[in-house]
Amino acid sequence: MEKNILFHLYNTAPPVTRFVCILVGIVTFTVSVNLVNKNYFILSRYQVLYDLLINNKNRSVFNQLSVIERFKKLSTLILRFCLAPCYFGRLNFEGILHITFFYRYSSMLETSYVYISDYVFVLFLCYVTLIIGAMFVRLGPLGPSFSCIITYIWTRKNPRAIIQTFGFLTFPAFYLPFIIPVFTLLSDGTINNEESMGIVCGHIIFFFKDVFPKYSADFLRTPCFLHRLFKEEQDCCTGKKLVSRFQYIPRFISSNSNSTRNNTSDSPVSDFSE
């Protein structure tokens, strides 16, 4: 029965969410069986400075390594940065809850976008803002923050949706991202930095991706190479000049005005009936 449920969740998940969940499963498994130390997936500004070999001593040691050893060291550093948001910590109640939230709301958020590349770019923005936030705030595993970002963006896009938790609690979706921090505050007496950072990063992405373009330019538009990568046709990628819908109005008026002038010159009364 459990295998059938897992296969059903795997088959019904959208492609991008499915891929990220596979990475989450791989990272969780490797840490659970002690193949990889859990500290490998926890980022901090001190560890980043150490890994980037800022001081002269580490730089001289790095220069003495062979090409293959340098490649291995750099590849492990890149993998560490890429897989850090896929680590949700220990598989306790809170960790399983964050993974469940990510699967559910990432699936619904991905299906709300017309193009896959748009959601991939949103995940990239989530990743960048989360990594930048981790450089200024001391965080643990980045997986809960990543889940809170996705949940927050979906709830802001669907604020009037009704959410039911624990089988009897119903409330608007807007309050969902604050449920887990309040639960942590009541149980532990402290506010979780990871969840707070996820809410802040999610609000930044939602504002500049969905609110700001309504009043100004959309500088966070999905790049054209992502559309080409997923074989999606876009006017901005084919070299066609985008014309605003308001630019058609003066052309329409001018054409009609010219036609009415011609009609009035031929006959004293213009007939608009067909």
Q: Taking all residues of the chain, what is their mean pLDDT, rounded to a whole number? A: 78
Amino acid of residue 127: Y
Is residue 180 in some structural domain? yes
Is residue 253 in some structural domain? no
Is residue 34 in some structural domain? yes
Structural domain of 210: 2-229
Of residues 122 and 246, more confidently modeled: 122
pLDDT category, 155, cuts 50, 70, 90?
very high
Domains in the chain: how many in total? 1
Q: Is the pLDDT of residue 264 over 60?
A: no
Could you report the per-residue pLDDT of 74-121, keeping only the tens digit for each? Answer: 777 788 888 889 999 888 888 888 899 999 999 999 999 989 999 999
pLDDT of residue 250: 40
Read out DSSP for 183-252?
Answer: HHHHHHSS--HHHHHHHHHHHHHHIIIIIGGGTS--TTPPPHHHHHHTT---TTTTTPPP--GGGHHHHH
Q: What is the mean pLDDT of residues 226-236?
A: 79
Of residues 162 and 50, more confidently modeled: 162
Is residue 76 in some structural domain? yes
Is residue 158 in some structural domain? yes
Could you report the per-residue pLDDT of 23-46, keeping only the tens digit for each? Answer: 999 999 999 888 888 888 888 776
pLDDT of residue 241: 45
Beta carbons within 8 Å of 246's beta carbon, 6+ residues apart: none
Of residues 176 and 66, more confidently modeled: 176
Is residue 118 in some structural domain? yes
pLDDT category, 48, cuts 50, 70, 90?
low
Is residue 131 in some structural domain? yes
pLDDT of residue 272: 32
pLDDT of residue 130: 92
Is residue 119 in some structural domain? yes
